């Protein structure tokens, strides 16, 4: 029950042509892609990221050391600068909590949880479908072979990102690379949308670009396999509608592929070009194998696959194994037209994992459907999980309050 091994298709970005009025490329780079894991662009990038992740692990030991020094009574800081640094590792003493009497007070829901903005969410979906809020414009498709240029990597610690680690880039991308304000704004918007406890698996934030459109964003496993990086095309982040949709889609992957849902296969992760190993791991998995590992029986992605993909997976897999790019795109387009009522978007047909992420995004942004089509039944699938309904409410409220004006 495994999809095509995307490591076999590194020359292809699985873009759809010919049946979409707007080419949306919201790509998930996972174990198959040599991104952040072995190299972003080359061996230099690989060694740099290795150092960054090593620092990420080092802070755990520094935290323990600093706490031990505090417990033993050693002076930890003698200057304000030191306090600023140690604050990265040691949380400040919490503010005293309210009195027992105050704890019984019922706090009303926040404005964000009660907020609704149907016109805004409809506009976001219209931009995703048509490339314009009026619904009558046609987006322009770029060459599907264009690769992204990696601009800057930031380590992630909670809501904060660390110092920029810039790349050497072509001169035409220098402005995008050096626009730290735009990088921070996109990251802060993501943290405003997604609750902190839902994105704890993120260890890196990577700014990329391939120019307008084409690749909009991605997520990828990184060196420890259980941690992830969020990648955002800063050029496309200028459109708040596109950015919102992209962030929700990429979070859909984090939601459905994190280690609690899909325990990572470190064997596959560490040997991304070993086809025999991949097939062996997939064959040994009794559940759906999205590539990152064998999904848990009760995981969202496994239940989604069992309910909606078992009847069409063999037909889809035959197309996904197609080596010729043009033939692949033509056949996948025909597959989409054949099963159009089963997918919320053309990009959802790319794989079960992309289908889940796209459907999640529609679940958040669209109104609750009646279930007249399989595509609508897929949206109702997420309504069957109360924790996801609650999360949807919170994210919607955050969109209404935080959408860039």
Whether residue 188 is contained in a domain is answered as: yes
pLDDT average, residue stretch 228-241 = 96
Q: How confident is the model at residue 88 (pLDDT cuts 50, 70, 90)?
A: very low
Whether residue 354 is contained in a domain is answered as: yes
Q: Tell me the pLDDT tens digit for each residue of 244-301.
A: 999 999 999 999 999 999 999 999 999 999 999 999 999 999 999 999 999 999 999 9
Whether residue 54 is contained in a domain is answered as: no
Q: Tell me the pLDDT tens digit for each residue of 120-160.
A: 999 999 999 887 543 333 233 334 566 899 999 999 999 99
Q: Is the pLDDT of residue 238 over 60?
A: yes
Structural domain harbouring 265 = 6-36+117-402
The percentage of residues in the chain with a pLDDT greater than 70, rounded to a whole number, is 68
Q: Is the pLDDT of residue 32 over 90?
A: no
Q: Is the pLDDT of residue 90 over 60?
A: no
Query: Could you give the 3-state DSSP secondary structure of residue 156?
Result: strand
Total residue length of the chain: 405
Whether residue 55 is contained in a domain is answered as: no
Q: How confident is the model at residue 93 (pLDDT cuts 50, 70, 90)?
A: very low
Q: How far apart, in Å, are the Cα atoms of 276 and each of 5, 183, 266, 285?
A: 11, 40, 15, 14
Q: How confident is the model at residue 116 (pLDDT cuts 50, 70, 90)?
A: confident
Give how many domains the chain has, as a whole number: 1
Whether residue 89 is contained in a domain is answered as: no
Q: How far apart, in Å, are the Cα atoms of 346 and each of 21, 329, 373?
A: 10, 12, 15
Distance CA 147, CA 209 (A): 9
Whether residue 177 is contained in a domain is answered as: yes
Residue 161: the pLDDT is 96
Q: For the chain, give me the number of helices (H) and strands (E)?
A: 16, 7
Whether residue 104 is contained in a domain is answered as: no
């Amino acid at each position: 029950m495994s999809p095509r091994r995307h490591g076999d298709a590194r020359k292809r970005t699985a873009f759809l042509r010919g049946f979409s009025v707007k080419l949306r490329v919201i790509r998930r780079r996972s174990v198959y892609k040599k991104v952040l894991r072995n190299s972003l662009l080359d061996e230099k990038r690989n060694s740099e990221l290795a150092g960054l992740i090593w620092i990420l692990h080092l802070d755990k030991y520094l935290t323990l050391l600093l706490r031990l020094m505090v417990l033993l009574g050693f002076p930890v800081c003698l200057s304000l600068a030191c306090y600023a640094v140690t604050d990265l590792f040691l949380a400040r003493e919490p503010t005293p909590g309210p009195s027992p009497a105050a704890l019984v007070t019922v706090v009303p829901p926040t404005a964000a949880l009660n907020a609704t903005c149907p016109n805004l969410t409809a506009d976001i979906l219209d931009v995703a479908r048509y490339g314009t809020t009026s619904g009558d414009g046609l987006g322009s498709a770029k060459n599907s072979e264009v690769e992204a240029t990696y601009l800057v990597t930031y380590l992630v610690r909670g809501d904060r990102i660390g110092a920029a680690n810039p790349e050497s880039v072509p001169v035409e991308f220098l402005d995008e690379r050096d626009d730290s304000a735009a990088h921070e704004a996109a990251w802060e918007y993501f943290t405003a949308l997604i609750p902190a406890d839902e994105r704890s698996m993120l260890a890196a934030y990577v700014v990329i670009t391939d120019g307008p459109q084409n690749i909009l964003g991605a997520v990828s496993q990184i060196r420890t396999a259980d941690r992830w990086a969020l990648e955002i095309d800063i050029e496309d982040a200028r459109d708040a509608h596109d950015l919102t949709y992209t962030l929700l889609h990429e979070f859909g992957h984090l939601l459905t592929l994190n280690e609690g849902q899909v325990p990572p296969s470190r064997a596959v992760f560490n040997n991304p070009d070993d086809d025999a190993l991949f097939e062996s791991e997939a064959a040994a998995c009794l559940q759906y194998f999205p590539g990152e590992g064998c999904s848990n029986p009760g995981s969202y992605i496994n239940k989604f696959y069992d309910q909606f993909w078992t009847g069409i997976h063999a037909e889809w897999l035959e197309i996904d194994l197609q080596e010729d790019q043009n033939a692949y795109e033509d056949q996948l387009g025909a597959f989409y037209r054949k099963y159009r009522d089963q997918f919320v978007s053309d990009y959802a047909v790319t794989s079960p994992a992309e289908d889940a992420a796209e459907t999640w995004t529609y679940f958040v942004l669209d109104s609750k459907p009646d279930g007249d089509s399989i595509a609508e039944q897929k949206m109702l699938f997420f309504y069957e999980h109360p924790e996801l309904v609650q999360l949807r409410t919170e994210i919607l409220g955050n969109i209404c309050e935080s959408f860039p004006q």
